[in-house]
Structures are given as structure tokens and as C-alpha cells.
């Protein structure tokens, strides 16, 4: 694995895994539908939510941005998931 500007770059095999995991729209649709049905997620247009999630996670392909800002893939994915699941507004409770 190459290292540039203090940030590890993924090898082609790792990129293939990332790509496969964010390309499974049906599994994501089912997960969202189940979460909505169980009351765990708010009622939203699932196809729009999927589009937002896929587009956000697809940003990991912009390696230059992550290298220039010294953001690891793990940090990027964790932040993306946190923002998608919990938003940017602080919980007032």
C-alpha cells in the first residue's frame, strides 16, 4: 500500500471492496424500509435517502481531497455515517 502526505492509499483490491459495498442499492433500500417500519428511522423517500448515502460514500474516491486534508478512509467513512445517521445538529437532551 502506498503512503502519500501521511495518508494511506487503498490498493485496487480494497477499492473494489469499497465500491461493492456502496453499490448494493437493494440491500440499502431494504435496510431503510425496515428501519422506517420499525420506527428506528424517520419517514423519508427511501430512494432519495439512498441517493444521498451513495453519493456521500462515493466521495471516498476523491483521494486527493483526503490526502490534502490528512483524512484517513476510516475517518472519512465514520464521519459520513455519523452525519447521515445523527445529522449536524447537537442533541438538546
Round to whole Å and give the CA distance between 5 and 13. Answer: 21
pTM: 0.62
* Grid cell of 44 as nine digits: 423519508
pLDDT of 14 reads 67
Please, what is the Cα angle at 19 between 16 and 22, to 5 degrees? 150
pLDDT tens for 55-75 read 888 888 888 898 899 998 889
Amino acid at each position: 500500500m502506498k503512503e502519500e502526505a501521511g495518508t494511506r492509499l487503498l490498493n485496487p483490491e480494497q477499492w473494489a471492496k469499497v465500491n461493492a459495498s456502496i453499490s448494493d442499492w437493494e440491500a440499502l433500500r431494504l435496510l431503510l424500509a425496515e428501519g422506517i417500519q420499525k420506527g428506528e428511522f424517520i419517514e423519508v423517500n427511501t430512494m432519495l435517502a439512498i441517493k444521498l448515502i451513495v453519493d456521500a460514500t462515493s466521495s471516498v474516491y476523491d483521494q486527493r481531497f483526503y490526502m490534502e486534508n490528512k483524512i484517513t478512509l476510516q475517518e472519512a467513512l465514520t464521519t459520513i455515517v455519523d452525519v447521515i445517521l445523527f445529522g449536524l445538529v447537537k442533541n438538546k437532551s
